[in-house]
Structure 1
Amino acid sequence: MTEHPPDRPAPPPPALTDHERLRALAETRLDVAPDEAFERFARLVSALLDVPVALVSLVTADRQFFPGAVGLPEPWAGRRETPLSHSFCQHVVDIEVPMVLPDARLYPRVRHNRAIEDLGVIAYAGMPLTDLDGRVLGSLCAIDSKPRAWTAEQLRILADLAAACSSELRLRIAVDTAEQARHRAEEAHDRLAMLADLSETLGGTLDVGTTVDRLGRAMVPLLADWCVVTLVDPTRRPSTVAAVHRDPAYAAEATRLAELVTRGLGPGSIIRSVLRTGRPVLHSPAPLTDVRHGTTESELVALADRLGFGSHLTVPVTATGGHTVGTITLVNGPDRRGFDDDDLRTALDIGRRAGQAVGNSWRYGEQRHVAEVLQHSMLPTLPVVPGVQLAARYLPAADRVEVGGDWYDAFVQPDGELVAAIGDVAGHDIEAAATMGQLRNLVRGDAYGRTDPVEELMTHLDRAIHGLAIPTVATAVLARVRRTTQGGLRVSWCNAGHPAPLLVTAEGRVTLLEPGREPLLGLSRPPRRTGRELLLAPGDTLVLHTDGLIERRDRSLDEGQAELVERLTGTGNRPLADLCDLLLAAAPGREDDVALLALRAG
């Protein structure tokens, strides 16, 4: 062993700088602050071995510190750490076995160690403290200020205590590892939740400016300290820019930075590079010169510095067809970890989702006009019929297309009777809406002026769908309503695979009219249909609805139907329009269109 004279300190042993050892040491979360568990180990060593000084010493690459200590002289007792020039325990880390010295002044390895003079270390016995992988993190040591012959019993006690002390260190590491795993799991869960919610968040508006702002607020602070979202016009110039910072106090600076990005990107701008190539750029860590080289506005550099600039990541916003329509720039300050490949993958996914949302908003203007025309033609004005109150509602699942496959209708026959219908065509797009229009017109054309029972009208409808090769599967309820001499209504009805109608009496009792539900419309071999009759007394209400009112992913249709019955109970005297509004208000977060038609006797 080479001996180093006092004026030339020895370099630290290679084991001290091992990355995995230092990582494990950091995971103990221990430092110079006293820790009661390790203080107890030091007290036990001092008492059982009858030594004036006992230490739980953990050794880093440049110092040793004592979470447990007994008998240190000042100023070391207050500091609870020493440089390596005063460390015997570093050698236990280096040799990875116990180091027992009856008189340290006689051993070349430590004879010039300053702990001999400054701390009075003469006799030393140190046992390795290890993690689960056997890496030596430090030493549990007994120290005497005079030469001492350590007995086998003393060394056995010290070894047993070191084993117990190592177990405590391993427990601390395990707790920290579990905490880190929990944190990573929570972060991954939060990211997945954000991605899951992002399409809904972006789909909640068709205004491009609102889309950009919502996108920024969805990513900060989960993914970054601040971000800049940039969309371009057809000439590839920034047209819509939003900047969001995690600290509301910087809102004004973020807004100003967005204004400067709109007009101040230079030829060396990373944003321009990503717009041009469609390839992401990740710099971690990143110098402020990245901003300086990319802008013609010096103020933008100062703003980026104030907002915090330590690493950045820019990805393309990609619309359908792979066209780059903008960029997302995520920035972390110097106090937050730099971006990595996981962040890059998440940001690229966000860029694709954002591109879809932007593309949808651009296409919405064209689709909206078509949808409005369809809606106007397919949602009729309810007729005024003596002795019958009518109310209806239609609510689409989303505002991108104004109508879907759900429909209702009510019209008066030449003899004064009322025909009411409700139905649902498979699908949730304009094609479904167009098919729905065909079906509604077939109902009108087939039923108007005819006195056939409703089951025969439904059979004719089956045949027409099959004969005209209308490509649809649908459900429907068709009802014929006649006034009685007592002021009530006689309703004959036929159900082709549709949710059951409900009867709400004037007293508020609710009956589910389940019998009579038959196969869907549009099957290759239409079945024979069956009609049913129902008498509505004055004040009684018949409620027809589509399955959007009761269908949820998190519950069965039967549960939804039961909830609807409960909500209708006791509503017999509620005005019919209010009753319809009540039912729609009870369907938040609906995933399907809702059509609702209610008629009341009297």
Structure 2
Amino acid sequence: MAALTDPERLRALTETRLDAAPDEAFDRFARLVSDLLDVPVALVSLVTAERQFFPGAVGLPEPWAARRETPLSHSFCQHVVDIEVPMVLPDARLYPRVRRNLAIEDLGVIAYAGIPLTDLDGRVLGSLCAIDSKPRAWTAEQLRTLADLAAACSSELRLRIALEGAEEARRRAEEAHDRLAMLAGMSETLTGTLDIATAVDRLGHAMVPLLADWCLITLVDPAGTPRTVSAVHRDPDLAAETARFAELMITGLGPESITRAVLRTGRPVLRNPGGLVDVVRGTTHPEMPPLAERLGFASHLSVPITAAGGRSVTIGCITLVNSGRRRPFDDGDLHTALDIGRRAGQAVGNSWMYSEQRHVAEVLQHSMLPLLPDSTDVELAARYLPAADRVEVGGDWYDAFVQPDGDLIAAIGDVAGHDIEAAATMGQLRNLVRGNAYGRTDAVGDLLTHLDDAIRGLRIGTVATAVLTRVRRNATGGLTVSWCNAGHPPPLVVRADDKVEVLDAHREPLLGLARPISRATRELTLARGDTLLLYTDGLTERRDRTIDEGTAELLDRLAGTAALPLGELCDRLLAAAHAREDDVALLVLRAR
């Protein structure tokens, strides 16, 4: 019976949104048939490829009355769909077409009269039928009444289909609007971060559930091999299975994999329908097909993620998947996904470029930072941390070296700017400090005065801050620290008894100003276990608070840290410097 499996007929049946449940309008038609034709059983029967169900029914015996459906083994109405004309049987037991039908014995169907129920295109969806449990000679008047009721019943079915069509059109319009809104905001969504993992996560959540029930985003390494796979499912309860499927994608794709084909050719693939056979054919891991079945795999499409540039380079693949409960993908979905793939390619390409540039910048910055010397008088520790989400090399620096006479020179500074020029100037300034101080016994204030002269004389066009210190053992066995501050954040001293002191009373102008400045030298004493903290302003300054508030917060963090190992102290201070807007350099000295 080819009519039973006609896709257009089955689609129309689906669009009625009726099922094996009572519907008042169709129950009314069944009651009218029962009353006007004086029959014990009357049905509004709609027939699928596997069953018949009754949105309208009167007089069915149990258990069929409760079920409101039967298999086709118990269906006379399937023949009305097949022949597409009324079927009238005074005694079904006498007709070869139906005499072996189980409805005769199980439902007591002896006399049967069924009139086709049709949609606007004339496709027969089922039958309005009158049934008697004994032989019956149907009169012309009864059949005319049944035909009139069937025409009215067909009109109700057509109205339901039209309403569903209007509702579907409304849903499609809303979906199209949502897609346009998503595409309009996609570039902003993807370019709002330069972190690849964040960009991919945002992309997945932008597409699910708007475009698909779940999605996979595959990125490749330079050789074109899947490097990372991210996945998002609309059902949070399936998050673990989705993540596992994504994990297996990295190593479990076979030579016939659609994802591999898209990565290799740069051409999209749309499968509608597309089922588990595609997963079985394209994978080498036995766990993937059952996972796909649990996640839902009825229709899917895959599009390339293409990097922008002189020539198109496929750097990844987006796969959208729908389960059987959602409409299959179409060409409109494919065009939308291709647009997303192009936008994603720009974002991922920018993220990769940013990551590479940031790595180069950090390597360059760290290459300019010195190894700390060994000192018998102090323990030293240092840290440098670049600003979050920034490529530029900063001008923060620190230095420490031992003089020929055993004194320790320690310095920290910050050159204005965040670019290659600032980094180059930072390197020059650090070398000037070394060349100016090494082997000389001048007071640190005089050394910074000489440094000022050198900056002006060599026409190094910059301004900078710095703190320069000299540490030497004094006659009492303690350490004397002489220091000078040229416009830099004040050094801090954490005493062995956990008291914290701020050396902020003698901050002098910045280095590199036009007029000569005579700088002073200050002194303090460090006892065993005392710690001197030198730092740059990235540790304390943020746009949303004052410098005093930042310094106060730093002092709070230093409370109770006198006994912490220096490395742990540095790490704790940097960990607290969340949402950094500037580079941070730390140089910490503890008296032995």
Please classify the TM superposition score into its range, dividing by the shorter chain length. Answer: 0.5 to 0.7
The 1:314/1:497 distance shift into structure 2, 3 A limit, reads farther
Q: Give 2:408's aligned residue.
A: 418
What amino acid does structure 1 have at the position aligned with 2:455?
I
Q: Give 2:469's aligned residue.
A: 479
Contact 1:270 1:314 in 2 (8 A): yes
Match of 1:260 among 255, 277, 287: 255
Name the CA distance, whole Å, in 2 between partners of 1:260 and 1:219: 26
Structure 2: 5+ residue stretches without partners = 1-11, 23-56, 69-114, 116-146, 154-162, 165-170, 232-240
Contact 1:501 1:514 in 2 (8 A): yes
Name the CA distance, whole Å, in 1 between partners of 2:565 and 2:262: 62
Contact 2:262 2:302 in 1 (8 A): no
- 1:66-81 matches, cutoff 5 A: none
Q: Give 1:330's aligned residue.
A: 319
Matched, 1:219 2:204: yes
The 1:33/1:252 distance shift into structure 2, 3 A limit, reads same
Contact 1:497 1:517 in 2 (8 A): yes
Q: Percent identity?
A: 43
Q: Give 2:450's aligned residue.
A: 460
What amino acid does structure 1 have at the position aligned with 2:317?
I
Contact 1:382 1:391 in 2 (8 A): no
Q: Give 1:378's aligned residue.
A: 369
Q: Give 2:559's aligned residue.
A: 569
Name the CA distance, whole Å, in 1 between partners of 2:298 and 2:542: 45
Q: Give 2:124's aligned residue.
A: none
The alpha-carbon deviation at position 351 of structure 1 amounts to 1.4
Contact 1:408 1:595 in 2 (8 A): yes
Matched, 1:200 2:195: yes
Matched, 1:446 2:440: no
Contact 2:258 2:269 in 1 (8 A): no
- Tell me the number of residue pairs that the alignment of Structure 1 and Structure 2 aligns: 451
Contact 1:390 1:576 in 2 (8 A): yes
Name the CA distance, whole Å, in 2 between partners of 1:537 and 1:284: 74
Match of 1:390 among 380, 393, 404: 380
Name the CA distance, whole Å, in 1 between partners of 2:20 and 2:509: 77
Contact 1:317 1:354 in 2 (8 A): no
- 1:124-203 matches, cutoff 5 A: 195=190, 199-202=194-197
Contact 1:319 1:355 in 2 (8 A): yes
Which string of whole-angstrom CA distances, capped at 9 and with x for unpartnered residues, describes residues 318-346 of structure 1? 16656525232322224457547765554
Name the CA distance, whole Å, in 2 between partners of 1:344 and 1:516: 63
Which string of whole-angstrom CA distances, capped at 9 and with x for unpartnered residues, describes residues 421-478 of structure 1? 1012345566544432211110111223444443343233233233323354432112
The 1:349/1:559 distance shift into structure 2, 3 A limit, reads farther
Matched, 1:535 2:529: no
Contact 1:505 1:540 in 2 (8 A): yes
Name the CA distance, whole Å, in 2 between partners of 1:584 and 1:503: 18
Q: Give 2:43's aligned residue.
A: none
- Please give the TM-score of this superposition, normalised by the length of structure 2: 0.56
The 1:320/1:519 distance shift into structure 2, 3 A limit, reads farther
What amino acid does structure 2 have at the position aligned with 1:547?
D
Matched, 1:596 2:586: yes
The alpha-carbon deviation at position 545 of structure 1 amounts to 0.8
- Please give the TM-score of this superposition, normalised by the length of structure 1: 0.55
- 1:398-417 matches, cutoff 5 A: 404-417=394-407
Contact 2:357 2:391 in 1 (8 A): no
What amino acid does structure 2 have at the position aligned with 1:371?
V
The 1:321/1:252 distance shift into structure 2, 3 A limit, reads closer
Matched, 1:299 2:281: yes
Contact 1:548 1:591 in 2 (8 A): yes
The 1:328/1:595 distance shift into structure 2, 3 A limit, reads same
Contact 2:252 2:283 in 1 (8 A): no
Contact 2:254 2:283 in 1 (8 A): no
Name the CA distance, whole Å, in 1 between partners of 2:355 and 2:563: 44
The alpha-carbon deviation at position 543 of structure 1 amounts to 0.7
Contact 1:371 1:401 in 2 (8 A): no
Structure 1: 5+ residue stretches without partners = 1-16, 35-71, 86-110, 118-135, 138-175, 204-213, 275-280
What's the secondary structure of 1:480's corresponding residue?
A: strand
What amino acid does structure 1 have at the position aligned with 2:316?
T
The 1:320/1:384 distance shift into structure 2, 3 A limit, reads farther
Name the CA distance, whole Å, in 2 between partners of 1:259 and 1:216: 26
Q: Give 2:502's aligned residue.
A: 512
Name the CA distance, whole Å, in 2 between partners of 1:241 and 1:581: 32
The alpha-carbon deviation at position 412 of structure 1 amounts to 3.5
Matched, 1:549 2:539: yes
What amino acid does structure 1 have at the position aligned with 2:363?
A
The alpha-carbon deviation at position 597 of structure 1 amounts to 1.4
The 1:330/1:400 distance shift into structure 2, 3 A limit, reads same
Name the CA distance, whole Å, in 1 between partners of 2:408 and 2:423: 24
The alpha-carbon deviation at position 349 of structure 1 amounts to 3.0
The 1:264/1:558 distance shift into structure 2, 3 A limit, reads closer
The alpha-carbon deviation at position 219 of structure 1 amounts to 3.3
